[in-house]
Amino acid sequence: MTSIARPGKIIALHLNYRSRAVQRGRVPQQPSYFLKPPTSVAASGAALERPASTELLGFEGEIALVIGRTARRVRPEDGWSYVSGVTAANDFGVYDLRYADKGSNLRSKGGDGFTPLGPAVLPAADVDPAALRLRTWLNGELVQEDTTGDLLFGFGRLVADLSQLITLEPGDVVLTGTPAGASVAIPGDVVEVEVDTARHTTGRLITPITEGTVPFGPYGALPRADDQQRADAYGTSTGDFQLTAGLKERIESVGTATLSVQLRKRGLDDVFIEGLTSTRPGTRLTGRARTLRYLPYREDLFEKHGGGYNAQKRAIDALGPGDVLVMEARGERGTGTVGDILALRAQVRGAAGIVTDGGVRDLAAVSALDIPTYHAGPHPAVLGRRHVPWDVDVAIACGGAAVCPGDVIVGDGDGVLVIPPDLVEEVIDAAIEQELQETYIAEQVAAGERVEGLYPMDEHWRGRYAAWLAKR
């Protein structure tokens, strides 16, 4: 383990952890970056001032790559060999100044001390880049924990991508993104970050937060905060809904027919993805939507976008545990939109299911997989007969329903429906209660009771239902 000197340049990544991308409500197709000045570097233990008159000092625990040899136009498979080591980093920034940077992050994230690094560097030869753990603590409470197995873009790919235009030199630092859980620190707080493996650790990178006293002058942008900046800084924007194991179990305790009733009561009538058949009709489907959109086939567009590592393959490779890939194929059944190899890849990635309003190739092989695939019918033709794979993780239309990335997708033998994340808890509670009532009503009908006054229940039957419920 060695210490780190001040780098020649610091390049930081915007989004790289799947958990953070879900929180932000967007999944990038390619990595994007910004620069931080070398004067932003600080050592472990150094106090960081929250600038005077600012409110939102955000912290982001990250893994930092230290470049070990000159890299220029290297290949992704060789990128990791140009890294000499990894260390812990904290990508601090003041959200109060984000508006002033026009996306550059220079003032919001470039302040003195805004990039603590250390305390030790783990030699690249001693670690597996795909098996690193990152953790962040705020006042001793663990607030971030993730592994590099959840990265959207691997370390070798980042080095290769940057080196296409920028010569990376020994000592340069690449910050590789932060997972969900990043939030805000205030004066008096202590933020700690650690990167480790089963055998090695950087130690904890410790940053105490103090209150700045020197005011901003009137000759530049002044700090300002609004509700959107606060939501982004604290991680409380609408994208932070989590489909937990417990919530998934509750969803799967009720049928899509019941869920559709409750959605309709809330004014949502067009949430069914129509006309599809499941390859595994007895298997429940519950997960978060990732989306893929096809354009109608056009020769020049397919030539540019249809081959190689196209949007279809990128969408499959980006799937993670619990994701459902939902495809917009315009109801076109005259070709396949997925086949056995890509469906298998989705299964290996841990995806919960595939939904397409187009055709499926290799239907027998796809049906033999464990992953359920909802489709409009089989067809042997390849993708390029009717479709151009166009873009991923955008709002789409599938089977007559609007689907946004992050929507909850639920399927059973009756079909597939879409639930907006902010309605899930309310809808599930009501659906569970509805099915309890229907269980009671069915028992009474089976015992010979008339449906008049019972279905739906009048005041008399509601009283008896309450007594029945109390005994359960």
The C-alpha atoms of residue 82 and residue 241 are separated, in whole angstroms, by: 38
The C-alpha atoms of residue 303 and residue 388 are separated, in whole angstroms, by: 9
Q: Is the alpha carbon torsion for 446, 448, 454, 459 positive or negative?
A: negative
Q: Contact, 24 vs 240, CB < 8 A?
A: no
The C-alpha atoms of residue 423 and residue 404 are separated, in whole angstroms, by: 14
CA nearest to 70, candidates 51, 54, 84, 49: 84
- Side chain identity, residue 440: Y
Burial class (CB in 10 A: 0-12, 13-18, 19+), 274: middle
426 token code pair: 């309310």
Q: In Å, what is the CA distance from 214 to each residue of 53, 186, 211, 224, 418?
A: 9, 17, 10, 16, 51
Q: Contact, 377 vs 278, CB < 8 A?
A: no
362 among annotated binding-site residues: yes
Q: Is the alpha carbon torsion for 5, 11, 12, 16 positive or negative?
A: negative
Q: Contact, 405 vs 25, CB < 8 A?
A: yes
Residue with tokens 């030790």: 120
**H or E segment at 226?**
none
341 among annotated binding-site residues: yes
The C-alpha atoms of residue 275 and residue 355 are separated, in whole angstroms, by: 11
Alpha-carbon radius of gyration of the chain: 26
Q: Where are the beta strands (DSSP E) in 297-338?
A: 323-328
Contacts of 330 (CB under 8 A, 6+ apart): 294, 296, 357, 358, 397
Q: Contact, 40 vs 110, CB < 8 A?
A: yes
- State whether residue 358 is helix, strand or coil: coil
**DSSP symbol at 336:** B
First-to-last alpha carbon distance for the chain, in angstroms, is 61
The C-alpha atoms of residue 441 and residue 401 are separated, in whole angstroms, by: 32
**H or E segment at 82?**
none
**H or E segment at 162?**
helix 155-163
227 among annotated binding-site residues: no
Backbone dihedral angles phi then psi of residue 111, each to the nearest 5 degrees: -65, 160
45 among annotated binding-site residues: no
Judged by phi (left if over 0) then psi (alpha if -120 to 50, else beta), residue 190 lies in beta
* Residues of the binding site: 339-342, 361-362
Residues within the annotated binding site for substrate?
Answer: 339-342, 361
Q: Where is the binding site for Mg(2+), in residues?
A: 362
